[in-house]
Amino acid sequence: MSNLADILNKPATDFNFPPPLPVGGYHCVVAGLPEQIESSEKKTPGFKFTLKPIAILEDVDADELEKLGGLEGKTIPHTMWISQDAGKQETTVAMLREFLEHCGIDPEGKSVMGMIDEVPNAEVVVFMKHEPLRGRDGFRAVVAKTAPVSQE
C-alpha cells in the first residue's frame, strides 16, 4: 500500500473520475454485512450494501464495460434508507425486506435484522441507471432496481 505522501506527490493530472458502469443488469454477490450509516443532512439511518458484480445481463454494453477494464475489482454500493417519518417508515422497511428477498432470503419467521444477518454471499440482480452528478458535470451509476437471480 502506498503512503499518502507518495500518492499526493504524483502529478495532479494523473487523477480523474472513473467513468460509471454501463446501464443494465448485473448478477452480483453481496460482499459481507452492510455498513450501518447515517445521512449527513437529516441523520436518516440506513444500510450500505457492497455488491460485487460477477456477470452481466444481455442489456449491458459489453464493449463499454471492457473499456472500463471489465468487472474485475468493481463494486456497486447499494444504500437503503430507513425513514424516521412514521408515514414513510413502513414503506422504506418494506423496500429493504424486498431487496433481501431478492437476495434469496425467506422472511418467514425472521425479523428484518435476522434477514440482514443472512445476506453475506447472497446473489442478486441489480439494474444500473445513470443520473447526473450534483455540483459538477458528469454522471454516476446507481441502482435503479433489483430482482432475484432467475433459477432457470
Which segments of the chain have a pLDDT < 70? 1-2, 151-152
Q: Which position has the grid cell 434469496?
A: 104
With residue 110 as reference, give the H or E element that holds it: none
Helix or strand or coil: residue 62? helix
Q: How many helices (H) and strands (E) does the chain have?
A: 4, 6
In the chain, which ranges are continuous DSSP H helix?
4-8, 62-67, 86-102, 112-117
Express each pLDDT in 66-84 by its tens digit.
999 999 999 999 999 998 8
- Residue 152 has what pLDDT? 43
| Domains present along the chain, CATH in parentheses | 16-147 (2.40.50)
- Residue 46 has what pLDDT? 95
Whole-prediction pTM: 0.86
In this structure, what DSSP letter does residue 148 have?
Answer: P
Q: In angstroms, rounded to a whole number, what is the distance separating the alpha carbons of residues 100 and 112?
A: 9
Nearest to 28 by CA among 112, 142, 116, 148: 148
- Residue 151 has what pLDDT? 57
Helix or strand or coil: residue 56? strand
